[in-house]
Amino acid sequence: MARVWHGDGGNGPAPTYAHAVEAFLIAHDRAGAWSAGTAVKYRQSLSILGTRLSDGSTDASVAALYTPDGAADLAAAFTAAFATLAPATRARHLAALQSALRWWRARGWLVTDPTAGWARPKIARDHSRALTREQIADLWRLDVGLREKTLWRLLYETAARASEILTLDIADLDRPGKRARVISKGGDTDWVYYQTGTALLLPRLLAGRPRGPVFLAERAPTRAVPTLDLCPDTGRARLSYRRAAELFAHATTPLATAAGQSTGWSLHQLRHSALTHDAESGTNTPMLLARSRHASMRSLERYARPGPEALARHAAATDPATRRRPGR
């Protein structure tokens, strides 16, 4: 069981861990520094850790985290809470903790960083997450419903995040301009652009509906949902990310199995694939950044990475030993 801590945090008495967490979250919410999703994730990480630290109590002072015993307790609590999770998930929880620690130190509640020297979870990069063009072509040939066909096309053609597309309302569509207005990470409003494939499917999907969410669940909800997520004409709710991801994984399991994978594909792979295919086609960096809406090339590089097939074609095309056919 963790100790009950009391003490000073440098410039004055430090609050309890629970109050320090709340102060950290409120300060960033007021400043508009985070999106709603980031705030939820940070609260989740710090709350889980706090339960492990104080064994359900809120009496533990954040100040003693800089003592040897406190740092040891923090390490033990983090391990107990997150050690069994995937490296990428552990890294996300660690980032939330370290962000809070930096803010608490700036307030004078901590003297040093108790996580200094911790090994960062090693995340193995999977460079095969992008689907090949042939796999995308196979995807379009699957026998699925109109809603799924439209959603998948829209995700691939816009290279947008699934959460952005699933929150679209009909009023967000500029169908003559083949574009849609989305709320990006950080709350910015952006346009994403689609192509003829989506443009041909949308009228059939909407079937004359003038308002409400673009993508609807199969039936009316059995529990209360926000009014913004209800179609006033059909009474059906907005399609959830969880349900959309389940349907995509289920439908693509045969294709994934044929490629030697044990589970179906994820919706995120459509964004990843679109940007990768753009890079393979020679799209320049400014256009890739504008299309992906990444802030830096470093974050874009995880997506716009040419795949093995493109590298093989490049090697063959630039092979000096390759003889051209007569007349070419």
Residue 102 lies in a domain: yes
With 50 as the cut, is the pLDDT of residue 9 above it? no
Indicate if 93 and 229 belong to the same structural domain: no
* Total domains in the fold of the chain: 2
On average, the pLDDT of the chain sits at 83
Following DSSP, what letter does each residue of 175-226 receive, concatenated? TTTTEEEEE-GGG-EEEEE--HHHHHHHHHHHTT--SSBSSB-SS--SS---
The residue among 120, 102, 99, 105 whose CA lies nearest residue 42 is 99
Kindly state whether residue 323 falls inside one of the protein's structural domains: no
- Residue 66: predicted pLDDT: 78
Tell whether 50 and 180 lie within a shared domain. no
pLDDT above 50: residue 5: no
Residue 140 is part of a domain; what is its CATH number?
1.10.443.10
State which of 109-113, 197-201, 303-307 shows the largest mean pLDDT.
197-201
Counting every residue, how long is the chain?
328
Whether 157 and 298 map to the same domain: the answer is yes
Q: Is it the case that residue 12 has pLDDT exceeding 60? A: no
Do 232 and 88 reside in the same domain of the chain? no
**Residue from 165, 145, 158 nearest 247 by CA:** 145
pLDDT score, position 267:
93
Say whether both 177 and 268 belong to one domain: yes
Q: Please check whether residues 97 and 178 belong to one and the same domain.
A: no
**152 and 63 inside one domain:** no
User: Is residue 159 included in any domain, yes or no?
Assistant: yes
Is 126 inside any structural domain? no
Indicate the residue among 59, 90, 106 that finishes a domain.
Answer: 106
**Are 88 and 228 in the same domain?**
no
CA atoms within 13 A on the CB side of 274: 24
CB atoms within 10 A of CB 4: 13
Assigned domain for 25 exists: yes
Q: Based on the domain organization, do 167 and 59 belong to the same domain?
A: no
Note whether residue 284 is domain-resident: yes
Per-residue pLDDT tens digits for 133-192: 999 999 999 999 999 999 999 999 999 999 999 999 999 999 999 999 998 877 789 999
pLDDT of residue 35: 67
Domain presence at residue 115: no
Helix (H) or strand (E) holding 173: strand 173-174
CA atoms of 7 and 65, how far apart (whole Å): 10
The residue-averaged pLDDT of 276-287 equals 87
Confidence category of residue 219, pLDDT binned at 50, 70, 90: confident
Q: Do 27 and 99 have their domain in common?
A: yes
Domain of 87 in residue numbering reads as 17-106
Residues 68 and 195 in one domain: no
Cβ pair 238, 213 in contact under 8 A: yes
Residue 232 and residue 295 share a domain: yes
Q: Two tokens at 315?
A: 């090697």
Domain stops at, among 106, 123, 142: 106
Residue 187 lies in a domain: yes
